[in-house]
Amino acid sequence: MALTLRRTLAAASAAAVALLAAAVFSLARETAGAGCAEQAALPPSFVSRNISDIFDAPAAPTFQLQHTSGKALLGGAPKSLLLIEKSGYAFAHEAPVWCADSDDVYFASNAGAPLGRSNLTTNNVVFKVNLRNLTERAAAGIASFASDVHAVPIDSDSVQMTNGGTSYAGELLLINTGRGSLPGSIALVPRATPQQPQVLLNNFRGRGFKSLNDVVVHPDGRILFTDADYGVLQDFKDETGMWKAVWSFDPLSGDLAVLDASLTTPNGLTLSPDAKTLYVTETGFARGFYPSDPSVAPLIYAFDLAASARHATNRRVFAVAESGISDGLKVDTEGNVYSCDGAGLQVYSPSGTQLWRFVLPPIGCTQVVLASGGRIVLLAEERLYLLQVAAAEPVPLAELPRHNRIARS
């Protein structure tokens, strides 16, 4: 059965690639040399750009090679396809999860922002698309939000304002900010019966979290997650007085440990394929409905993660956001790191070298998820994009955790 499934998915991926190649897409543009070294010294008359502006911005979505070692990943003819656009609705914001067995992609609408159609009194929505079918329909010019984007019927007070997601033993693991006095939570949501979520965590010794944000699963069973403050800063979540931190949780024993509390606002996170390096974004620059804080550098940090996944040490700067803040971290099987920011998608080597980028004016993208066959899905608020590159194989998250799994209640 597993072999048949792999063959079926391979055939589906090949068909999607063929459809992409047959459509009209944006073409790649290679920057001169290895990166942007030729722009290190600009004329004295240059005007300093705003942190949210895109550097060397093209007029349309464009692939740009940033380092020669990125050529093998990007390939000679990368393609992009606008899958869905829904003007006036930020339906594609966070929590993307790709399911290999069905080729479905789950994601959540913007929580709290005006275009997200959610606030103190209204929950956001988790959606699902079938990537194979949507690619075919988008390439043919017949895809639509009404026909191809489906709401997932969770409808539970325990799953409020979903903001992050990953796979847990093939099911959905959603992290939810909370709304009003309803607490934030980490919930296991079965794909077949999403209306029956199982809450794994919603407090620290009786204290509600501030604004739960993003989540990743360690191979040995622990769940790592970030707690920020964006629900409070967007006026849809009650203040609990909890501190912001990166946490490690064992759902079997209930053990909960702080990995780091030094970041102003920890946000997106991911693990290297060997689970020895933890990446976390610092997004304290962005303050929701309040003025931004330019004193906080928009960085991606790397930590050494202990084998127990209970301690993180050796914090160091991995990369800096090119525009706005970095979020939406993912890794491929080679350890390359994918991050979304105000310019678009940035791709880095495990050492932090920028390899290539997909510039998406005017506001970039918020989240990314990798699918098989070099497919990359970008969430960009009112738009959903598919990229096709030579190499970007996802870590098989449905296999995680490999040990110490919880039993479904």
In a domain, 43, yes or no: no
Measured CA to CA, the distance from residue 300 to residue 302 in angstroms comes to 7
Tell me how far the alpha carbon of residue 132 is from its chain's centroid. 20
**Residue 156 domain-assigned?**
yes
Closest to 69 measured CA to CA, from 32, 36, 35 = 35
State the pLDDT at residue 39: 61
Q: How many structural domains does the chain have?
A: 1
Beta 62-65 vs 94-99: how paired, if at all?
A: unpaired
Q: Could you tell me if residue 405 is inside a domain?
A: no
Range of the domain at 118: 2-34+54-399
Return the residue matching tokens 């502006």.
53
**Rounded Cα–Cα distance for residues 364 and 380 (Å):** 7
Asked if residue 39 belongs to a domain, the reply is no
| 366 φ, ψ (degrees, to nearest 5) | -110, -30
Bond preceding residue 401 cis, omega within 30 of 0: yes
Nearest 5°: the CA angle 97, 134, 396 is 30
Q: Is residue 324 part of a domain?
A: yes
Does residue 47 fall inside a structural domain?
no
The CATH number of the domain holding residue 187 is 2.120.10.30
Work out the end-to-end distance of the chain between its first and last CA atoms, rounded to an integer number of angstroms: 27
pLDDT at 80: 98
Residue 276 CA to residue 335 CA, distance in Å, equals 11
Cα–Cα distance, 74 to 367 (Å, whole number): 19
Residue 206 lies in a domain: yes
d(CA 51, CA 325): 9
Query: Can you spell out the DSSP letters for 173-201?
Result: EEEE--BBTBPPEEEEE-SS-TTS-EEEE
d(CA 305, CA 155): 36
Give 256: exposed, middle or buried? Use CB within 10 Å, 0-12, 13-18, 19+.
middle
262 burial class (0-12, 13-18, 19+ CB within 10 angstroms)? Answer: exposed
The angle, 0 to 180 degrees and rounded to 10, between the axes of the packed helices 2-22 and 131-139 is 20
What would the two tokens of residue 289 be? 């409905």
- Contact yes or no for 354/347 (Cβ under 8 A): yes
Alpha helices in 58-109 (DSSP H): 71-74
Does residue 406 form part of some domain? no
Coil vs helix vs strand at 163: strand
Distances (CA, A) of 40 to 37, 43, 111, 325: 5, 10, 38, 22
pLDDT mean by block of 10 residues, the chain; 409 residues = 40 45 39 45 80 83 96 96 98 98 98 96 98 98 98 97 98 98 98 97 97 98 98 97 97 98 98 98 96 96 98 98 94 98 97 97 96 98 98 94 88
